[in-house]
Amino acid sequence: MQTVPQITPDPQSTATVEMDPGKPDLNPAAAPPPKAGGVGLWIRDLLISAAASVLIITFLYQPVRVEGTSMLPRLEDRDRLFINKFVYHIAAIERGDVVVFHYPRDPEKSYIKRVIALPGDRLRIDHGQVWLNGKPQVEYYVPEEFRDSRSMAEMVVPEDCYFMMGDHRSISSDSREFGPVERSLIYGKAVFVYWPTRDAGVVR
């Protein structure tokens, strides 16, 4: 799979030259013929575009496919989306981010879940209601029909770990079962669904 980067015009290939109106060209025949090189410029631009695509896919974005329904209603089974693999090298993981990480019990597998609590947060769940640092959370991304009534005793999220939950709470296998996820296992942020078109859009 490949992304198509935006390409800004190359100044060398789009430069214009203004003639001096005070000094008209009195001998057009003496003007040198235009240099050939249009094909060379086109090939150069094509190679630059291909290299940029490879760099973007390798270092910035990666296409992935969702398997399962634990992130309904936003992400459906077999949705295809781009994850940003670079963003967490320059920005902090925040509550509400939808992230991709290696499953703690089997690093060969990858899970996609939502960050609910950060390192040091006090978290408890009371009959499905998430309480964070003593305050009930309003979770707009969890429709009423996807909620459950599970409870969990209060805990403090360990240093350098994150508590993950799926949006479809009644069927999600998440940190309520396998515990907080270490920072080193998180490798991307879900940013955009591109297929199927009915689901296309930014992941929030």
For 178-204, how does the pLDDT look when each residue is reduced to its tens digit (9 = 90+)? 999 999 999 999 999 999 999 999 999
Q: What is the pLDDT of residues 149-181, one digit of tens each?
A: 999 999 999 999 999 999 999 999 999 999 999
80 CB-contact burial (10 Å; exposed 0-12 / middle 13-18 / buried 19+): middle
Mean pLDDT of the chain: 84
What is the residue range of 106's domain?
Answer: 63-202
Given a cut of 70, whether residue 40 has pLDDT beyond it is: yes
In this prediction, residue 21 carries a pLDDT of 40
**Which neighbouring-strand residues pair with 190?**
83
| Start-end of H helices in the chain | 11-14, 38-55, 175-178
- Would residue 14 count as lying in a domain? no
Q: Strand, coil or helix: what is 20?
A: coil
CA distance 96 to 53: 29
- Would residue 130 count as lying in a domain? yes
- Would residue 15 count as lying in a domain? no
CA distance 46 to 55: 14
The model's pTM: 0.74
Compute φ and ψ for 150, nearest 5 degrees: -70, 150
CA distance 38 to 61: 32
Given a cut of 60, whether residue 9 has pLDDT beyond it is: no
- Would residue 192 count as lying in a domain? yes
Of residues 87, 84, 102, the one with CA closest to residue 164: 102
State the CATH number of the domain containing residue 117: 2.10.109.10
CA distance 161 to 181: 5
Given a cut of 50, whether residue 119 has pLDDT beyond it is: yes
Given a cut of 80, whether residue 124 has pLDDT beyond it is: yes
- Would residue 185 count as lying in a domain? yes
Strand bridging mode 135-136 / 129-132: antiparallel
- Would residue 30 count as lying in a domain? no
- Would residue 120 count as lying in a domain? yes
In this prediction, residue 5 carries a pLDDT of 26
Domain total of the chain:
1
Given a cut of 90, whether residue 110 has pLDDT beyond it is: yes
Take residue 174 and report the two structure tokens written for it. Answer: 């998440």
- Would residue 171 count as lying in a domain? yes
Residues annotated as catalytic are 70, 113
Model confidence at 54, pLDDT cuts 50, 70, 90, reads low
Model confidence at 30, pLDDT cuts 50, 70, 90, reads low
